[in-house]
Amino acid sequence: MLQIQNLNYSVGDRPILKDIRWVVNPGDRIGFIGPNGTGKTTLLRIISGELEANEGSILKPSAYTIGYLPQEELPSVNKSVLSTVMEGNKEIVQLEEEIENIHTRLDNGINNSALLDKLGSLESRFTALGGYRMEATAKQILSGLGFAADTFHKPMPTLSGGWRMRVHLARLLLQEPDLLLLDEPTNHLDLESLEWVEQYLKRFRGSMILVSHDRFFLDRLSTKIAELINGRLTLYNGNYRYYEKEKTAREERLSKQWEEQKAERERIQRFVDRFRYKATKAAQVQSRIKKLEKMEIVDLPEAQTSSIRFILKPDVVSYKDVLSSDRLYFRYENDWVLENISFKLYRGQKIALVGKNGVGKTTLTKLIFGQLQPQQGQIEIGQRVSMGYYAQHQIEALNLDNTVLAEVSPAAAHSHQPRLRDILGVFGFSGDDISKKIGILSGGEKARVSLAKMLLSPANFLIMDEPTNHLDLFSKEALERALAEYEGTLLLISHDRYFLDKIIDRVIELKNGKIHEYLGNYSTYLTNRDANDEPILARKKKPTEKTTGRLKKTREQKQKEAQIRQAVSKERNRLQKEIELTERLLEEKILIKTELEQSLAKPQTYQDSNKSVMLQKEYDQLLKDINELETRWESAQISLDDIQNKIVNKSW
């Protein structure tokens, strides 16, 4: 367990963290959220020991280990990928060196019982820690993160920043510390690697604090949400969807309390003003003045950036046919990236372009926008189509001498001009920020300027390559609403699955130089892909006589299959009930656990030693119960998934 008590941190006169109190329990998976610049990274650095707080303390056991993956790029070491990962487990590496040293001494004729005893002890410890499996585990983790086997022995300096971050993530996963601090771990992962990391972290036995703007990731992994706003930390039990509901309900409660308190204060103040100078009412007046002074003011929830709405209004309506790609081929030198690509886009469609990193998604968008030319085939843009294009590299086109406002204003449609300052606030530029010169902005801030500039233009066909990379959750929500209401055509590349789910109605998957098309949102695409179904839009072949013959079944076969289906369906219903019951029990236990944690975090609890011991025993037993329930839930869920796959694939 790690406890943070009354922690404060300031930069000059500006407070960043205010009276932070937080208990991180074994097995907690905490999604850590809040607007950009509120101090999330600062708090992670303090927990990791990189930074020292001005006030407060962090309590943890002496043997407690913490692994930290920062957001910024880490320095590159001149070692191979595999060596860098394996060196993360320092104890195993040290044991291996000691074992090799003893073997060398034995080979040189130094032979005594003490040395042999030490070798036996070291090898037992090495085995217990998984030393003999470490290389295989490291390779498994690297493969899951997208590394091909032939890159394991590549020198680290030859990798790009994004791939180096993956290596450091692999190193941390191999360490298996008591607490993992992950600051935007999904930024450099493609969708396939992201799904693998999710599954791996679900099996992780330690605690985690995850800073991420990927709500799908937070929703699947988090058991708690910690929100940092204006230096204050608010904790919610449950995943991201639960947090959204609970926060809305909490804000409604606070707003109601604020209104009631405001009315009560005004009523008391009217009494004081009316009878202040009447001697007969002096006692009542003084009583009410004291009541006003003692009244604890309810803080009204601050309006978030996401409450600002803006509408993306195309200048003209395009014709129905927006784009046609006919037998498109493209290669870089001798490597074909795209082969025989044909597809059409129609007015009003919102399409996600998905596939592994390096498969050619960005190349295809550049071909559509005209920044690249194909070796074969053609792309035809429809009539009255006006394109807007956003990609990371476009920040190079910004005028470094302009202010933020001056850079964006000329590109904005006339309808946006009156609310330009509010809309810039959605992208993190408020107050004096809009007067900053582009040249002094960070890379992420420049990317947001470039994005705002493109979105404020009146284009009717938007092409967007990773638009959410530098947006906080509140900005993402505002952008989501705008794109969902957008009446033009949208082609979107994004690793943010939650974002995609809210917006798109069609998926184009690039795989091995070919395309596969699916109707529906991202979740529908996942279902169809994972079930190994033929893509919805794929052309279906007519069955031949030979295949038709194979499809004919006897009555006995059909009866047998029906019986199996009934048995499978019955088992599925049983498992679903077991999962529902287990989830209810878990919710009850977690609620009790939260109450106990609050009691254990109070100093007065320890004034009564018998009570504190009793509470700790109750808490320890509760952790065991929760662990057993989680194991039971996971087992039932795995069984249910297997049955669902059997039903989908008809593999009775």
Q: If you average pLDDT over every residue of the chain, what do you get? A: 82
- 247-273: string of b/e by CB count within 10 Å (b at 16+)? beeeeeeeeeeeeeeeeeeeebeeebe
Residues 217 and 351 in one domain: no
Q: Which range has the worst mean pLDDT, 124-133, 177-186, 498-507?
A: 124-133
Identify the band that residue 73 occupies on the pLDDT scale cut at 50, 70 and 90: low
Q: Which residue in this structure is represented by tokens 């000059």?
A: 12
Residues 399 and 349 in one domain: yes
Q: Which of 302, 335, 350 is where one domain is finished?
A: 302
pLDDT at 209: 96
Kindly state whether residue 57 falls inside one of the protein's structural domains: yes
CATH number, domain of 631, equals 1.10.287
**247-303: pLDDT as tens digits:** 888 888 888 888 888 888 888 888 888 888 877 778 888 888 888 888 888 776 655
**420-443: pLDDT as tens digits:** 887 788 888 888 888 999 988 877
Kindly state whether residue 337 falls inside one of the protein's structural domains: yes
- Report CA 9 to chain centroid distance, whole Å: 26
Residues 619 and 502 in one domain: no
pLDDT at 74: 65
Q: Which range has the worst mean pLDDT, 108-112, 123-127, 252-256, 335-339?
A: 108-112
pLDDT at 31: 95
Residues 212 and 78 in one domain: yes
pLDDT at 535: 46
Q: Which range has the worst mean pLDDT, 142-151, 379-388, 527-536, 564-573?
A: 527-536
Give this prediction's pTM: 0.62
Kindly state whether residue 99 falls inside one of the protein's structural domains: no
Residues 208 and 260 in one domain: no
Q: Mean pLDDT, to the nearest integer, of 302-324?
A: 75
**Environment class of 621 (CB within 10 Å of its CB; exposed 0-12, middle 13-18, buried 19+):** exposed
Q: Which of 189, 213, 238 is where one domain is finished?
A: 238
Identify the band that residue 647 occupies on the pLDDT scale cut at 50, 70 and 90: low
Q: Tokens at residue 27, please?
A: 């097995």
Q: Mean pLDDT, to the nearest integer, of 163-176?
A: 88
**According to the per-residue pLDDT averaged within each range, which of 213-222, 346-355, 565-574 is highest?**
346-355
Distance CA 28, CA 319 (A): 53
Return all residues near 557 (Cβ < 8 A) that are at least 6 apart: none
Kindly state whether residue 536 falls inside one of the protein's structural domains: no
Residues 169 and 34 in one domain: yes
Handedness of CA 520, 511, 451, 388 (dihedral sign): negative
Residues 222 and 298 in one domain: no
Region at 634 (left for phi over 0; alpha for psi -120 to 50; beta for the rest): alpha
Kindly state whether residue 328 falls inside one of the protein's structural domains: yes
Residues 344 and 405 in one domain: yes
97 pLDDT above the threshold of 90 = no
Residues 205 and 273 in one domain: no
**233-242: pLDDT as tens digits:** 999 998 988 8
Residues 213 and 348 in one domain: no
Kindly state whether residue 495 falls inside one of the protein's structural domains: yes
Q: Which of 530, 546, 568 is where one domain is finished?
A: 530
Kindly state whether residue 586 falls inside one of the protein's structural domains: yes
What residue numbers bound the domain in which 608 lies? 558-649
Question: How many domains are there within the chain?
Answer: 4
Select the more confidently predicted residue: 358 or 326: 326
Residues 512 and 575 in one domain: no
Kindly state whether residue 104 falls inside one of the protein's structural domains: no
DSSP one-letter string for 35-71: -TTSSHHHHHHHHHTSS--SEEEEE--TT--EEEE-S
CATH number, domain of 459, equals 3.40.50.300
Residues 366 and 439 in one domain: yes
Q: Mean pLDDT, to the nearest integer, of 330-350?
A: 89
